Structure 1
């Protein structure tokens, strides 16, 4: 089954609970390699990317059990460090960006690691410089195998260091943190990413016995310890799913309640949706989105056209830019969508234009959207999901469209969204796997 067949135009209603955070899961799963004690992770999303990483951990010797749905118990007491230099590792790790974060804990505990060329979405260049340069400052030597496209890292001389990151990379921060917690001496990481998922990783490591201060800031201070123990850790709700459901409600004129969203971890996400004119209210830890016939894009205070752009936390997450672009197609007004981080993430707009949206793609990073104000529905078409976030954006467009749409390559959607068809059908959507 590799396609969704969607019949759009249905108004949805009811409550939906977001899955556990995919990006947090990839970090904390790598962290289990730092100890030989059992680690219990709760609210783990049952999605392809996370399951691929769990399978890879099993292949290298981690014991894995799933006592109840969305809970995983892992124990890394029989690791084979040489597994990383096998063809099997190279093949499986090439499918997933998150495997780069195995390097930090492997260097910390086993003093050697391997980093393959990044896998995952084809949304533009993803450099490893931040990781490699940080490790070098901590005394790690590296060599690049051109034929196998693999970095081999030697952490025999791993030690604490002062690190000024050239960019606040989330995976780079996580990798350096996990190397530092068992490194001798003090490590300071300045210009560190401070996303909620990095904060969660810090809290988990501290519960295992690490000594990290500066959590939630861009200056992390790590005092190396000798060993770490086990812990139980619960993942946050996935902020990208929360944003996706807000956009879905607006596009389909639906009344939805999004439950248990971990509101404090959402940052400015609700406010940015409000700037598109979407009415939403907060009830405890839930977000209520009423059915709206119309929503009007606001302007800047000086009357100029609104720009929505991505930025490192606490700015707006790049993973919701695709959703914002789709939602804007049925708003009243005009908005400039500026995707700064990845140069290929807006290339799915040709499908939206084919569906009837009014979009001008200015360059690989910017698109101007002239909203249709619900005066003209999008029309169903056949399309292909190019990456996780664009795939769900196209799914939202299809659910709001008139007629039947088909989305191929839904493997991309399944990589990041747990049983999305079943969960949305329970709210009144018409999605079939074919």
Structure 2
């Protein structure tokens, strides 16, 4: 396995124009693994997790829980053994917290376990303002006292169940509130909750440990809290965002690949929106096949109007797949409006695609018009965040010539050994340390 320290800069040298073939299996869902690792602090019994993506973000969170006294060991390439026999109510390491936004997921579990936690501001991708107000308001309604200064300090002698309405269906706020509610005394009703596959995975994990949660997969969760939790074994589900990335990759490189164990039950909106771009997939059980023979022709709306692909909370099209869809659209015939509603800086990476030859008009921070197909040319690129970085990798793989993607460690925060796994399908990606030039 290619590994690097959390601070090492990596670049990918990508030779474009190669078709891929074969089978690939998506990694475990990063956005499920992170809250589940945090939630292991709710029990003092051993927990064994499998299909955990071995990526920078999960490794950083493992380091974080280890810093407060939790025993966490990688017992296999994608297997974690965790026991939070003791949890110290210590201040979390600011340097580790700045690496990942997921550090905020420790607020609920540590508050439940220790009665107090001091959390430095979380880091993560710079894709616009990412407010934490929803977390604070939810935990406050469950009985926490919160002080905000240079850090967030939470105190609660005893969390109490409550009827909580989230001011937005935030995924991580739902996960924090869910963990706190499991430990709270009494019943909590969590309304306007996020219901993404990774939220469902967290709820199922907590139920394996003995929690009682009703409404999993809906926007209203009823949690009967205060039950003592045991240990257990749990397998992380497949990453539907990685599946969407692989669909886009097959489309732009005109390749034929099969995605095994794709978790097709969570792909309805993803498949619907790729179909609008003229990319269709065949489902065989839980496997997904994308053939090289695609129309790649944008389907106009009724009446010949320009179609729109827009992200929304689950079960609509995922925001994290928008960057992939934009690159895919550059290789499809027709015009489509891409409407990114959730993060005001996520579309700014399209200037790199324009420099590569893509025909894109950035209307404002949330909307872009893509006209295709465009012949992309190699370029020197910089990965600003996980998803834009993966989108740039797709663009480089279908471009003419050899591209360099700096800051590729951002991609590795979300995609496990992606260079190795794509090279096994026929890609030409060289991973190497990036030195200041």
Normalization by structure 1: what TM-score? 0.96
Please give the alpha-carbon distance, in whole angstroms, between the structure 1 residues aligned to 2:265 and 2:119.
Answer: 34
How do 1:26-425 residues align onto structure 2 when only pairs under 5 Å count?
Answer: 26-84=34-92, 89-145=93-149, 149-292=150-293, 294-372=295-373, 376-425=374-423
Residue 156 of structure 1 aligns to a residue in which SS? coil
Report the alpha carbon displacement of residue 303 of structure 1 after superposing the two structures with TM. Answer: 2.4
User: Do the aligned residues in 1 keep the contact of 2:280 with 2:294 (CA within 8 Å)?
Assistant: no
**RMSD value, Cα:** 1.1
> Secondary structure of 1:268's match?
helix
Please give the alpha-carbon distance, in whole angstroms, between the structure 2 residues aligned to 1:134 and 1:106.
15
Greater mean alpha carbon deviation, residues 289-298 or residues 421-430: 289-298
Residues in 2 aligned to 1:293 and 1:382: alpha-carbon distance in whole angstroms: 29
Unmatched tracts of structure 1, length 5 or more? none
* Matched-pair contact (CA < 8 Å) for 2:162–2:187: yes
Is the Cα contact below 8 Å between 1:250 and 1:292 reproduced in 2? Answer: no
Cα distance in 2 for partners of 1:9, 1:292 equals 16
Q: CA deviation at 1:294?
A: 4.3
Which of structure 1's runs of 4+ aligned residues deviate more than 3 A?
A: none
C-alpha distance after superposition, 1:122-157 (max 9, x if no partner): 001011110111111112111112xxx201011114
Which residue number in structure 1 is paired with residue 5 of structure 2? none
SS state at 1:3 partner? strand
Deviation of the 1:300 alpha carbon:
1.7
- Residues in 1 aligned to 2:385 and 2:76: alpha-carbon distance in whole angstroms: 30
- Tell me the distance in 1 between the aligned counterparts of 2:336 and 2:120: 39
Deviations along 1:193-245, one digit per CA (max 9) or x if unpaired, are 11111111111111111111111111101111242111111111111110011
Q: 1:431 aligns with which of 417, 429, 432?
A: 429
Q: CA deviation at 1:264?
A: 0.8
Task: Please report how far the alpha carbon of residue 121 of structure 1 lies from its aligned counterpart in structure 2 after TM superposition.
Answer: 0.2
Per-residue CA distance 1:353-385 (angstroms, 9 max, x = gap): 01100000001111000011xxx5210010100
Query: Aligned partners of 1:256 and 1:317: how far apart in 2?
Result: 22
Please give the alpha-carbon distance, in whole angstroms, between the structure 1 residues aligned to 2:46 and 2:253. Answer: 45
Compute the displacement of 1:428 (Å): 0.7
CA distance in 1, matches of 2:269, 2:280: 15
Q: Following the alignment from structure 1 to structure 2, what is the Cα–Cα distance between the partners of residues 64 and 106?
A: 16
- Deviation string 1:371-408 (CA, Å, 9 cap, x unpaired) is 11xxx521001010000000010000000000010000
Task: Give 1:352 shift.
Answer: 0.4
Partner of 2:261, secondary structure, is: coil
User: In structure 1, how many angstroms separate the alpha carbons of the residues matched to 2:329 and 2:286?
Assistant: 26
CA–CA distance in structure 1, aligned partners of residues 117 and 303 of structure 2:
53
Is the deviation greater in 169-178 or in 60-69?
Answer: 60-69
1:293 offset after TM fit, Å?
6.1
Q: Output the TM-score relative to the length of structure 2.
A: 0.95
Structure 1: distance between partners of 2:11 and 2:186: 52
**Could you tell me how far apart the structure 1 residues matched to 2:354 and 2:184 are?**
52
Q: CA deviation at 1:62?
A: 1.1
1:81 is displaced (CA, Å) by 1.2
Q: Secondary structure at the match of 1:181?
A: helix
Instruction: Tell me by how many angstroms 1:111 deviates.
Output: 1.1
SS in 2 for 1:159: coil
Q: Distance in 2 between matches of 1:68 and 1:125?
A: 37
